Amino acid sequence: MVGSIEEMGRNYSNGSIQNCNGLEEKLDEFRCLLRKADGDPLRIVGVGAGAWGSVFAALLQDNYGQYREKVQIRIWRRPGRAVDRTTAEHLFEVINSREDVLRRLIRRCAYLKYVEARLGDRTLYADEILKDGFCLNMINTPLCPLKVVTNLQEAVWDADIVVNGLPSTETREVFEEISHYWKERITVPIIISLAKGIEAALDPVPHIITPTQMINRATGVPMEKILYLGGPNIASEIYNKEYANARICGAEKWRKPLAKFLRQPHFIVWDNSDLVTHEVMGGLKNVYAIGAGMVAALTNESATSKSVYFAHCTSEMIFITHLLAEEPEKLAGPLLADTYVTLLKGRNAWYGQMLAKGELSLDMGDSISGKGMIQGVSAVEAFYELLSQSSLNVLHPEGNKPVAPVELCPILKTLYKILISREQSSQAILKALRDENLNDPRERIEIAQTHAFYKPSLLGQP
C-alpha cells in the first residue's frame, strides 16, 4: 500500500520513542477488544478527505501503518475532482521547498506528473494527490501517502472503524448510501464523527439534529457505537506534531479504549460522556468565529475590538449552553478553549475576514476552494431558526416578558442578517458591537446563571 517509513520521506527521529510508548501493544489491545483474529487486519476507513478527515487518517497511518498485518487504513473521497492550475503551481512550489517530499516523489516516480500539471500538460485529480500525501485544503502540510478508495461500497463494507470526516451538510446523504452496504453485516462498526455543525428541525417541537444523530438514523447503528471527536485543535498543527488536544465523547465502553488508542505524546485525548452537547458546541463556536474574522478585518486587528467581541460572543454561547445543558458549568473549559483556537486560526474566522475585506462574496457559496466547507454559515441559519421559536420563550429581564431566546443573542441575530437574509453588510457586526444599548456581557451570563432556562427538548430529549 505505502512504502516503508523511510520511503515516506519524512523525518521519523521519534520512531524509537513511539515504539517505547507501546504502539504495537496498544494496537493489539484494541484488536483484542474487537475480537480480531490473527491474520485479520483491523480495518479503519476515513469517509471524506477534507483537512481534518485527511489529517486524522494520516495520523493513524503515521502511527500504526508499519504494522501492516494487523491494521489496514484507507480513506474514501469522491473521484474526479480536477485540481486547477493555480493549485497545481502552488503544490509544485511546496514540493520543491521540502527536500524530504521531493525525494519521496522522485523515488515513487511521481515528481514529473506535478511538473507537467504545473505547465498545464496534465490534469491532476484530488484523489490522486491524496495518494501522494497532499490534501487539497491543506497543501502546505504534506501528509504521509494514504491508500485512497473512490468506491464507497469497497471502502466501508467490511470496516471495523469508520471515521466521518464529511461536513455535517453531507453526512446524512452519504451514510444513507452506506447503510445499503451494511444490510448483510452481523456486527456493526464503530463510528467516530469529526463533523461540526447542526441541522434545525421544528416538528414536533424545535430541536437540534447533530451529525451523530444523522448517522444513527441513516444506518441504524446504535448510539453507543457512535462517538464524536472534537477540539480544541488545528488539523495542520496536529500533523506537524505540535501540542494538541482532543476530546472523544460517547459511551464509556468505546470512548475510553479509543482515547487510549488515539493518544500520542503530542496529541492528548480526553474523554467525556456528554456526546450531543459537546457536538453541538463544536458547531456553535464556528458561528461566532465568522464574526470574529469580520471584526478583525474591519478594525485592522484592533486588540480592544477583538477582545470586546470575544466577551460578547462567549457570553452568548454561555447563555445558549444554559438552554442546552442541565449542568452547563461542565462545558465551560472545553467550550472556551475550542472557541478561542477557532477564532485564532480557523477557516470560519478566515472566511469572515475575506468577506469583510471584499475578497470573497456570499454569492460564492460556503464551499471555498482550498479551504473546504465553511460550516459556520449553515450553523448560523440553524441556530437562529431554532432560537427564534416562541415555544422556547425565556423571560426577558428588562421588560419582564417572555421573548424568544434569540432576542438575548444580538451577535447571532446580526450574523444571520449578514450571512443568511443578507439585509446588512459586514459592517453591521461593528454597529452591533458598539451599540450603546448593548448590555454588558456579564449581565447576560448572570441572566443565564440565575434563570432555569434548560430546554431538554432542544436536544430531542423528553
Q: What is the 3-state secondary structure (H, E, C) of 173-192?
A: HHHHHHHHHCCCCCCCCEEE
User: Residue 23 carries which side chain, given as an amino acid letter?
Assistant: L
- The CATH number assigned to the domain holding 414 equals 1.10.1040.10
pLDDT greater at residue 439 or residue 25: 25
Considering the domain architecture, whether residues 269 and 300 belong to the same structural domain is answered as: no
Cα-based distances in Å from 409 to 82, 208, 396: 42, 18, 12
CB 278 within 8 A of CB 321: no
Q: Do residue 434 and residue 422 come from a single domain? A: yes
If DSSP codes are grouped into helix, strand and coil, which group holds residue 274? coil
User: In this predicted model, what pLDDT tens digit does every residue of 142-158 receive, in sequence order?
Assistant: 999 999 999 999 999 99
Q: What is the pLDDT of residue 10?
A: 39
Q: Which residue, 275, 300, 319, sits at the end of a domain? A: 275
The predicted pLDDT at position 2 comes to 39
Q: Which of 233, 231, 158, 153 is nearest to 188 (CA)?
A: 158
115 within some domain: no
Q: How confident is the model at residue 399 (pLDDT cuts 50, 70, 90)?
A: low
* Distance from C-alpha of 175 to C-alpha of 164, rounded to nearest angstrom: 9
- Residues 283 and 271 reside in one and the same domain: no
Per the domain annotation, does 132 fall within a domain?
no
pLDDT band at 449 (very low <50, low <70, confident <90, very high): confident
Task: Report, as an integer, the average pLDDT of 284-296.
Answer: 94
Torsional class of 400: left (φ above 0), alpha (ψ -120 to 50), beta (otherwise) = left
Per-residue pLDDT band at 218 (split at 50, 70, 90): very high
Same domain flag for 269 and 298:
no
Residue 304, C-beta contacts closer than 8 angstroms, at least 6 positions apart: none
pLDDT for 18 equals: 42
State the cell numbers at 52.
Answer: 481534518
Backbone angles phi, psi at 366, to 5 degrees: -110, 15
Asked about 256 being catalytic, the answer comes back as no
Q: Is the pLDDT of residue 309 over 90?
A: yes
pLDDT exceeds 50 at position 297 = yes
Say if residue 265 is preceded by a cis peptide, omega within 30 of 0: no
Number of H helices, E strands in the chain: 20, 16
Q: What is the mean pLDDT of the chain?
A: 89
Give me the mean pLDDT over the 381-406 stretch.
88
Q: How many domains does the chain have?
A: 2
Dig out the grid coordinates for 191 from the structure.
463510528
In angstroms, the Cα distances linking 33 to 12, 37, 190, 247 are 29, 11, 12, 21
- The CATH number that applies at residue 36 is 3.40.50.720
Q: Do 394 and 248 share a structural domain?
A: no
Which of 396, 359, 386, 163 minimizes the C-alpha distance to 287? 386
Residues 186 and 312 in one domain: no
Domain identity same for 267 and 283: no
Is residue 128 a part of any domain in this protein?
A: no
| Rounded distance between C-alpha atoms, residue 174 and residue 168, angstroms | 10
Could you tell me which residues come within 8 angstroms of residue 5 by beta carbon, excluding any fewer than 6 positions away? 12, 15, 66
Report the percentage of the chain scoring pLDDT > 70.
95
For 381, phi and psi rounded to 5 degrees?
-65, -45
Handedness of CA 100, 18, 271, 268 (dihedral sign): negative
In a domain, 232, yes or no: yes
C-alpha cell at 130: 491524496
Q: Is it the case that residue 394 has pLDDT exceeding 90? A: no
Is 259 found in the same domain as 361? no
| Residue 239 located in a structural domain | yes
pLDDT of 462: 56
Report the DSSP beta bridge partners of residue 45: 74, 162
Catalytic residue among 285, 371, 417, 455: 285
Report pLDDT digits (tens) over 233-274. Answer: 888 888 989 998 899 999 999 999 999 999 999 999 999 888
For the chain, what percent of residues have pLDDT higher than 90?
A: 63
Question: pLDDT at residue 3 above 50?
Answer: no
Of the ranges 84-98, 202-216, 353-367, 390-404, which one carries the lowest mean pLDDT score? 390-404
72 and 165 within one domain: yes
> 2-16, 34-48, 256-270: which has the minimum mean pLDDT?
2-16
List phi, psi (to 5°) of 240: -80, 10
Out of 257, 275, 293, a domain closes at: 275
Residue 179 shares a structural domain with residue 262: yes
* Residue with more model confidence, 110 or 461: 110
| Average confidence (pLDDT) over 199-224 | 94
* Threshold 0.85, pTM exceeds: yes
Question: Which of 275, 290, 321 represents a domain boundary (last residue)?
Answer: 275
Cα 313 from Cα 306, distance rounded (Å): 10
pLDDT of 298 strictly over 90: yes
Residue whose C-alpha cell is 482515547: 259
Residue 208: pLDDT band (50, 70, 90) is: very high
Q: Do residues 261 and 30 touch, judged by C-beta distance below 8 A?
A: yes
* Residue 99: inside a domain: no
The pLDDT of residue 332 is above 80: no
- 305 and 393 assigned to the same domain: yes
Report CA-CA distances (Å) from 376 to 44, 84, 88, 210, 358: 29, 26, 28, 14, 18
CA distance linking residue 438 with residue 414, whole number of Å: 13
In a domain, 9, yes or no: no
Contacts of 446 (CB under 8 A, 6+ apart): none
In this structure, are 362 and 443 located in the same domain?
A: yes
pLDDT of 4: 40
- CA 272 and chain centroid, separation: 17
8 Å CB contact between 200 and 382: yes
Closest by CA to 309, choosing from 134, 415, 434, is 434
The residue segments making up the domain with residue 373 are 276-459
pLDDT-derived band of residue 343, with 50, 70 and 90 as boundaries? confident
Residue 34 lies in a domain: yes
Task: For 15-42, give one letter per residue: b (16+ CB within 10 A) or e.
Answer: eeebeeeebeebbeebbeeeebeeeeeb
Q: Is the pLDDT of residue 14 over 60?
A: no
pLDDT given at position 8: 39
pLDDT tens for 44-95 read 999 999 999 999 999 999 999 999 999 999 999 999 889 988 899 999 999 9
